[in-house]
Structures are given as structure tokens and as C-alpha cells.
Structure 1
Amino acid sequence: PPGMQNYNYAQSNCLEITVSLGCCKYPPTTDIRNYWYANKASLLAMPSKILNGVYGIVMDSAEQPIPTATIVVDVNDGHLSVTSRGEYWRPLPYRNGKETSYYMTVTAPGYNSLTTKRIVMKDQMTYNRLDFMLFKTTE
């Protein structure tokens, strides 16, 4: 079954990481230095992954936030909620040296939905700002 990492990514817009470096949950103190040297480069490179993704604000035509908006990224079956200020953020993976594309759809009650053009993650440190302006539906 899915764990906390899946839940946090899908439900709270955050990226939780569990690092298991060996088979022993509590290795002897004398082994810690070896674990550090064996994994130092990877552990230090990992925080740069937070720079892969998209963020922005969902607003109406008067540039006021729409806190009821939801966003769906085409590769993710979960809905992304926005804050009371219309802000959103989502880590998006960059896949093994390959340019990766995403589409996002924004909806809100009383507004026309909007689907983005292709968002391209070109390298390992792509963090795109993408603001959305939704227009009220006509009756």
C-alpha cells in the first residue's frame, strides 16, 4: 500500500523523503562515518531536487486570489488545492536527463477552466512560475 510519501505528495503539496542507507535501522556508532562517506555526494545533492517544479497564483480578472481553485497535473491523479491567497506549488520530477512535459488544468466554481500549454522541465533545476487568471462563467 502507498506510504506517507505518496499521501503527502498527493494531499499536501509537499515532498517527503525517507532515506534508508543500510539494512540495519540502528547501525553501530562505529559504522556511521562509513555511511556518511559512502553517501555524502547523494545526500548533499538531494536538496537541489526541491527546485524541480511549478508554483504560482490563481486569480480572477481583477487580480484577486481564487481560494476555491483546484489544479490537476496530467501525471498526477490527485487534486492540488490553493491557499487562501491563491498560491500553489508542486514538485514535478525531471526524468533521468530527459526533457519532461506536463499539462495543468485549473478549475474553480463559477469560473471557466483553463488548461496550460506544455510545461517543460528541461534540467534538474527548473522551477517555473506560472500564474493563472480565470474568468467568470457567463450566464
Structure 2
Amino acid sequence: MTGEELKAQRKAMAMSQGGLAEALGLTGTFIGMMERGVKPIERRTILAVRYLAGAAGTDTAPTRPHDRNTDVQEEQDVLEALAAAKDALARMREGGPQGPEQTAKLRRHCIAVLGEITAFLADQEAAAG
């Protein structure tokens, strides 16, 4: 996803930079930097945006042709993301009650993981279909 594509997707969802930033747990300034190409757009951010767009019914991402090598890598990415989310949750539980910042951080991480899972499953359905 390029910065221009990120901006187009954000606008298709009728979100401001600040609104998208809040949904992703980032800052509006950082969203702007990604849209201008100053900062790279991480895979988890792309997938979280795709998840939000899919939920809003405004996903503008082009569908990709089926590629088994890509499927294997994406499956590994999803499994790694799930393991990371599980580890983060376990660490937070061991640490006892968390403040609002830690809770928000876990929420953002979960949104990113859900985005990865949703994107992977959608690609699998499209390839099978």
C-alpha cells in the first residue's frame, strides 16, 4: 500500500487523519507522514486499515491473483501475529491490572491481528472461489 492508497482508503471511509489514527492507535501526524511517503507503512498497519475498510464496506484494495507462495507466507505471518498477541495478553495478565494506556495498546494490537486474519481468510476465500 502506498501513501496515496492509504489516503484514498481513509477518505473512502470518510475518516480524518486523526480519526484513522485513533482507530489504529497512532497519531494524526504519523498518518500524514505515511500518506506523504515520509514514513513507511508497516504490514500490520495495512492489514488493520483493510480490516477497518472491510468492516465499513469501503475496501479499495485491488484483489491479487492467487499465489501459493504468498499464501504460505501470509499463513506464517498470521500464526506469528496470533502467537505475539497471545504472548502480549499473557504478559499483561501476569502484570496485574493495567492502566488505560496499556489497555489501549493491547486493543490496537488485537485490531492489527484481526486485520491480518481477516485479510488472510478473505484472500483464501477468493482463491478458492
TM over 0.5: no
TM-score, length-normalised on structure 2?
Answer: 0.27
Q: Which has the larger radius of gyration?
A: 1
Q: Say which structure is richer in strand.
A: 1
Higher relative contact order (CA 8 A, sep 6+): 2
Q: Say which structure is richer in helix.
A: 2
